[in-house]
Structure formats: structure tokens, C-alpha cells
């Protein structure tokens, strides 16, 4: 069992264990099972954690299978019962005056059932605030399990990108034509009809209270139409509209609520081929 407070430190501890003990104890191993908390630096939403896992898999040749404990259940982790509880008992009442005392107290922990602990101080410096982009995440050799794929997944032993370093200014990449998203073939309505739909919903939905929305209201409506008509999920929509997944989820919920309030239905393309029209705007096929 290994423990370290930061993402890079935790993976470094796993590397150290594999090089020093794991490889010798399990020479035929091809997979490594890692249990992790739901949040923190090794949480299931943390991009740096997954990228470091991919680097570890590429270096060791092992497929890293990760199972995150559900939120609020970190005490279910075996390391809490088999290691941490005994360490706490061992240093109970002892002043932890220095790193040396802490490391020695951990290393001296034993039990009658055979627990032995190895401990050393990690003096490395790990950078914070590293940004992992969508391109780096898309390139990861990661496979989600059928059961709760967000919490259970495997990172395979394939080459993967390194943690990105600060990049020098580059020439801007030409932007793609955003107008393609409102193509009548995708939306099932003409651009004028899409504009009329936006105007209808804007009466109740295009308000200015609170924080400014990440998307202009016409883009919010367009995203919801694409979601309902061609079943685009929030994740790809967030990429297409340069938004975040969380903001896109909020946007889709908001527009679907407005559509329901106006009794407007956007039928899916699979069940109602183009041209399909919102039901209460006076459009005729």
C-alpha cells in the first residue's frame, strides 16, 4: 500500500514500490489494481491523475485498472483499516516534532498478524496548477468499464503524451466555421425558423441576472436542439461550443425546461426525418 498527498507523488510512490518490491514479487504480472478515493488529487474527475496513470502504464508495461470508491465512502478503502489505523495507534501520544520522527514512527509500526511498514520522506517538489487540455485527455489509452465507467476504468500500456509544459506562443489555428452547427440538415429547421425559436424562448430565458453565461443565448438554444435532435451528449457539445461540461449540462437543462414550458417538442432525427419542426411556432413541413 502506498500513500502520498499529491497526484505526482502518489504515482511516484507506486513506481517506487513496483521497482523495489512489486516487480520481484510478481514477475508475471501484466495488470495493476489501484483503489482510490472519489475526490482529491486522485479523484475520478482529476485529469492530471489519469495522465500520470497513463505515463506509469507506458513506463512499466502494466495495465492500470483503477476503482474509485463512491463519494463519501473513502473509509471503505482497505488501507484505512490495514495500515492507517495501526499507524495512528503506534504514534498516539507521541509529539510529532519533525519529519524524521513521523517517518520513523510509521516505519516502526507492526502488528502480531505480520504487518511491516516501509517509510521514507519524499522531498521532491511537485508543480501545482498544471493544465491538461482536451487533446491530451482524448489521446489517453483509457477504457471505461461498463459499470460506473467514471469510477472504474483501465489505463493501458501504450505510449501517451507527457504532462504539457508551458508552450511558446504559436500562430493561431484558423477557426472552423461555427455556422455549420446550424445547418438545417442537423437542426431540422431553416436558420430563420431556428432564429424564431430562439426569439420565442428568449422572452423567459435570456436574462442577465447573476454571472454572465458562458454561451450566448442563441448558442444555448442551438446546443439544446442538437442535443435533442441528433443525440449529441454534453461532452462533445462542450468541445464544439468551447464551453465546460458542467456549464453545458446546466445549459441543456435550462433550455429543455423552457421548451417544456412553451410546449415545444424537438423530435429526434431517428424518429422524424428532416424536415422536422417545433410544434407551436406555426411552421409547416
Question: Could you give the domains of the chain?
Answer: 7-155 (3.30.420), 178-261 (no CATH)
* Averaged pLDDT, 106-135: 83
pLDDT digits (tens, 9 = 90+) for 213-228: 668 889 999 999 999 9
Q: What is residue 9's three-state secondary structure?
A: helix
* Averaged pLDDT, 67-95: 83
* Averaged pLDDT, 163-183: 62
pLDDT of residue 9: 62
Banded pLDDT at 67 (limits 50, 70, 90):
very high
pLDDT at 247 over 70: yes
pLDDT of residue 66: 92
pLDDT of residue 169: 56
What does the radius of gyration of the chain's CA atoms come to, in whole angstroms? 26
Residue of 205, 194, 203, 207 whose CA lies nearest to 252: 205
Residue of 51, 84, 243, 269 whose CA lies nearest to 160: 51
* Averaged pLDDT, 76-99: 83
pLDDT at 149 over 80: yes
Please provide the average confidence, as pLDDT, over all residues in the chain: 80
* Averaged pLDDT, 115-126: 81
Residue entry with cell 493544465: 131
pTM of structure? 0.48
pLDDT of residue 176: 54
pLDDT at 277 over 70: no
Amino acid at each position: 500500500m502506498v500513500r502520498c498527498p499529491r497526484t505526482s507523488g502518489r504515482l511516484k510512490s507506486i513506481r517506487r514500490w513496483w521497482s523495489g518490491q512489486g516487480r520481484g514479487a510478481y514477475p508475471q504480472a501484466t495488470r495493476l489494481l489501484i483503489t482510490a478515493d472519489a475526490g482529491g488529487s486522485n479523484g475520478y474527475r482529476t485529469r492530471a491523475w489519469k495522465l500520470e496513470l497513463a505515463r506509469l502504464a507506458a513506463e512499466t508495461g502494466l495495465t492500470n485498472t483503477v476503482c474509485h470508491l463512491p463519494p463519501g465512502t473513502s473509509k471503505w478503502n482497505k488501507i484505512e483499516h490495514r495500515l492507517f489505523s495501526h499507524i495512528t495507534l503506534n504514534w498516539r501520544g507521541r509529539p510529532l516534532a519533525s519529519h524524521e520522527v513521523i517517518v520513523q514512527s510509521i516505519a516502526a509500526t507492526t502488528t502480531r498478524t505480520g504487518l511491516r511498514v516501509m517509510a521514507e520522506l519524499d522531498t521532491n517538489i511537485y508543480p501545482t496548477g498544471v493544465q491538461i487540455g482536451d487533446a491530451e485527455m482524448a489521446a489517453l489509452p483509457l477504457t471505461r468499464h461498463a459499470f460506473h465507467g467514471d469510477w472504474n476504468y483501465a489505463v493501458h500500456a501504450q505510449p501517451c503524451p507527457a504532462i504539457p509544459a508551458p508552450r511558446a506562443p504559436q500562430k493561431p489555428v484558423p477557426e472552423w466555421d461555427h455556422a455549420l452547427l446550424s445547418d438545417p440538415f442537423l437542426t431540422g429547421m431553416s436558420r430563420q425558423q431556428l432564429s424564431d425559436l430562439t426569439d420565442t424562448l428568449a422572452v423567459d430565458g435570456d436574462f442577465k441576472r447573476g454571472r454572465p453565461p458562458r454561451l450566448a443565448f442563441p448558442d444555448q438554444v442551438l446546443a439544446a436542439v442538437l442535443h435533442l435532435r441528433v443525440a449529441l451528449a454534453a461532452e462533445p457539445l462542450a468541445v464544439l461550443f468551447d464551453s465546460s461540461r458542467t456549464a453545458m449540462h446546466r445549459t441543456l437543462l435550462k433550455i429543455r425546461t423552457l421548451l417544456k414550458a412553451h410546449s415545444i417538442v424537438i423530435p429526434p432525427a431517428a424518429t422524424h426525418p428532416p424536415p422536422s419542426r417545433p410544434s407551436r411556432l406555426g411552421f409547416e413541413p
